[in-house]
Amino acid sequence: MSITNPLLDFSGLPRFGDIRPEHITPAIEALLAECKATVETLEAPGLPASWDSFVTPLDDATERLGRAWGIVGHLNSVVDTPEQRAAYNENLPRVTEFWTALSQNEALYAKYKALRASPEFDTLAPARKKIVENSLRDFRLGGAELTDAAKERFAAIQERQAELSQKFSEHVLDATNAWSLLIEDEAELAGLPDDAKQAARERAEQDGKPGYKFTLHFPSYFPVLQYADKRELREQIYRANATRASEFGPAELDNTPLMKELLALRAEEAALLGYASFAEVSLVPKMAETPAEVEGFLRDLAARAKPYAQRDVQELQAFAKVELGLDELKPWDVAYASEKLREKRYSFSEQELKQYFPEPKALGGLFRVIETLFGVRVKPDEAPVWHPDVRFHRIEALDGRLLGQFYIDLYAREGKRSGAWMDDARGRRLRPDGSLQTPVTYLTCNFSAPVGGKPAVFTHDEVLTLFHEFGHGLHHMLTRVEELGVAGINGVEWDAVELPSQFMENFCWEWEVLSHMTGHVDTGAPLPRALYDKMIAAKNFQAGMQTVRQIEFSLFDMLLHGSFDPAGEVTIQQLLDAVREEVAVLVPPPFNRFQNSFSHIFAGGYAAGYYSYKWAEVLSADAYGKFEEHGGLNPATGAEFLETILSVGGSRPALDSFVAFRGRKPSIDALLRHNGMAEPVAA
């Protein structure tokens, strides 16, 4: 029997071809009603606090809501339309209210505490014990121990934060989509690669206009910064990108007041829970224990990296002055001068290298790495999709068993949030009827689409991004845990969740991998060894600059949610300026409003957690060191990584998983070595 509302059909994969904005409200209302009825049943004092009678039915009801709302949120990110956005925003407060009420439910909290104290707890499998412990922690963080009045305020804070985060994201997307630049004279585009000009021409043609259209989507604007000889053009597009969603644009898209209110609400939430700052709240479920520990880690890394970064800048400034006639290196000159320096020093350009990574070869190479390391097969599969560009695949065991499936949406387009991310469509679990639900993943990027009838070609940075997001996907799809709460990425500490993703990036530098995943887009010729050697020589080009830039963002985020007072005299901009004075080697111009589009921390779940990228990079570099010790693409070491890290998901602490793989605690040495920062900089 066909289910009329596709969002209520959980019999298989999402019916993306059938889902319309008008389905959202009735589906969410029905699922909320179902969840509330289940909760009411489970609250009954006579119901035993056992796994089967209590945890399982709660999981069943809430999973359906989570999956349906996950589909709605995904569509909102990848095919944003006015109708889709309106339906999402209409239901966001209802969904937020439900999850907040659930996390504050004293009866359910008491049942979890009773289960934890019961003899049954000792008989539970480790994964189930972890779920119970996580649930008790989440009830405390959700306000279950607050007074009724405080609970009411806490709930209002959660709802308002959800609304503000969504508005922040909308403002960034709308500001990105609102700006474009049409250039009719091709001479203005001197230095720009042919494929970038071709893409700009096709964008203009789609608007029925002559010339070349540039936007603030990364594949459109960044080649201008990197290659355009005309300095005024670089400045124009840099300024437009650096002032998105700020006071320099339409007032209705300015994120400045949203940021202030979000920070104030987060600080109030922390105070209600008895913490000194939101940073402390954020760290409760993470590996790092205190804000001071994170700040110490970041400052230690900054002290090690800054001499290298300063050397990078001095070299770039000297080169720009002598070779390019730029007496003062402006922010819109950095990418351009860096590319010219790379070309001179290493005798190759990113544009030259890019021609060897057409999409079919890049994906094929990625799949070969996965198949070699983890003993699986990746095959094309079929499913309804939300856009014609989306592909669907399956991962099977060698005996043909389905392990997981994934959607891959690679190209930038209007109505699609910028950046790259992985999200789960559903998790692995053993259903109540005994059947196994396999995991499904969304993998989303914003690369350049095909132009001129050729396949899309990716920069090496984009290949790194592809491997990165797929690492998250593997963490979710190759889990062997059958309890939803800790299967795949569920329940993994936020500052360890980047371990598999950053780990996968390392293989993009291996000759054994690249020789099988490259083929010139015009000739099919594989990557020449001489070009590979140049690429490896340039691997740590400006690694110091890149490292301190990430530390700048991470320290800003931690201080913003730690010691910063949203109601004080110091502004967000002034805090960022102070952080830059401490760690940065390239300071942006006064008009730069990076923070106004810093979606990771204001709309993406990384609040007081952006440091995770660097924290997990220590883990991933050290883990990859074991592969280096055993020859790189080694199936036996891959099987160990699968067994000790990927397969266990969040069923045990991430540090325990790391130690199980590496035989010891992590060391920062591998990270410094991988980034070419193991030796002191010569005076």
Tens digit of each residue's pLDDT (9 = 90 or more) over 41-82: 999 999 999 999 999 999 999 999 999 999 999 999 999 999
The listed CATH number (1.20.1050.40, 3.40.462.20, 3.90.420.10, 3.90.470.10) that belongs to domain 6-145 = 1.20.1050.40
How large is the angle between the packed helices 654-662 and 612-629, nearest 10 degrees?
20
SS3 393: strand
- β-partners of residue 396 are 377, 402
Where does the pLDDT of residue 649 fall: very low under 50, low under 70, confident under 90, or very high at 90 and above?
very high
The fold of 359-537+614-674 is Neurolysin; domain 3 (1.10.1370)
Please give the Cα distance from 51 to 65 (Å, whole number): 20
Across 234-251, average pLDDT:
98
**Torsional sign, CA 294, 297, 302, 308:** negative
Please give the Cα distance from 105 to 35 (Å, whole number): 13
Please give the Cα distance from 228 to 222 (Å, whole number): 10
Q: Name the region of 278 (left: φ>0; alpha: ψ -120 to 50; beta: rest).
A: alpha
**CA-CA distances (angstroms) from residue 670 to 302, 667, 674, 682?**
16, 7, 6, 21
Which position among 469, 483, 498, 510 bears the catalytic label? 469
CB 624 within 8 A of CB 510: no
Q: Give alpha helix (H) positions in 561-677.
A: 572-583, 599-603, 612-629, 635-641, 654-662, 669-674
Chain mean pLDDT for the chain: 96
Please give the Cα distance from 138 to 134 (Å, whole number): 6
SS3 388: coil
Quickly count: other Cβ atoms within 10 Å of residue 511's Cβ. 14
Q: What is the DSSP string of 336-378?
A: HHHHHHHHHHHS--HHHHHTT-BHHHHHHHHHHHHHHHHSEEE
Q: Which two tokens stand for residue 454?
A: 């050729």
SS3 214: strand
Is 315 catalytic? The answer is no
Across 119-138, average pLDDT:
98
Please give the Cα distance from 170 to 168 (Å, whole number): 5
Q: Which two tokens stand for residue 169?
A: 């994201």
Where does the pLDDT of residue 432 fall: very low under 50, low under 70, confident under 90, or very high at 90 and above?
confident
CB 162 within 8 A of CB 258: no
Across 6-27, average pLDDT:
97
Q: Can you tell me which residue has the tokens 């934890």?
A: 116
Where does the pLDDT of residue 1 fall: very low under 50, low under 70, confident under 90, or very high at 90 and above?
very low
67 phi, psi to nearest 5 deg = -70, -45
H or E element: which one contains 265? helix 256-272
Please give the Cα distance from 320 to 351 (Å, whole number): 20
Across 93-116, average pLDDT:
98
User: In this model, does residue 190 exceed pLDDT 90?
Assistant: yes
CB 567 within 8 A of CB 614: no
The per-residue pLDDT for 554 is: 98
Across 616-628, average pLDDT:
95
Across 612-629, average pLDDT:
95
Burial class (CB in 10 A: 0-12, 13-18, 19+), 327: exposed
The per-residue pLDDT for 682 is: 59
Angle at 604 between CA 157 and CA 587, to 5 degrees: 110
Q: Which two tokens stand for residue 61?
A: 């009801």
Q: Which two tokens stand for residue 609?
A: 């957690």
Please give the Cα distance from 675 to 670 (Å, whole number): 9
How large is the angle between the packed helices 331-346 and 218-227, nearest 10 degrees?
70
Residue 16: which of 404, 472, 407 has the closest Cα?
A: 407
Angle at 417 between CA 416 and CA 418, to 5 degrees: 115
Please give the Cα distance from 507 to 515 (Å, whole number): 12
The fold of 253-348+542-610 is Neurolysin; domain 3 (1.10.1370)
- β-partners of residue 641 are none
Quickly count: other Cβ atoms within 10 Å of residue 536's Cβ. 14
Residue 58: which of 4, 118, 132, 120 has the closest Cα?
A: 132
Across 238-265, average pLDDT:
98
Please give the Cα distance from 397 to 401 (Å, whole number): 5
Amino acid at site 130: K
The per-residue pLDDT for 679 is: 74
Across 587-615, average pLDDT:
97
Q: Which two tokens stand for residue 443?
A: 């993998």
The per-residue pLDDT for 106 is: 97
Q: Terminus-to-terminus CA distance in the chain, angstroms? A: 76
Q: Which two tokens stand for residue 304?
A: 């090690």
User: In this model, does residue 683 exceed pLDDT 60?
Assistant: no
Residue 504: which of 457, 450, 468, 554 has the closest Cα?
A: 468
Going by DSSP bridges, is the β-strand pair 421-426/429-430 parallel, antiparallel, or unpaired?
unpaired
Residue 414: which of 178, 608, 585, 201 has the closest Cα?
A: 178
Q: Which two tokens stand for residue 217?
A: 């989507």
**Torsional sign, CA 192, 198, 204, 208:** positive
Per-domain boundaries in the chain:
6-145, 179-244, 253-348+542-610, 359-537+614-674
Q: Do domains 253-348+542-610 and 359-537+614-674 have the same CATH topology?
A: yes
User: In this model, does residue 678 exceed pLDDT 90?
Assistant: no
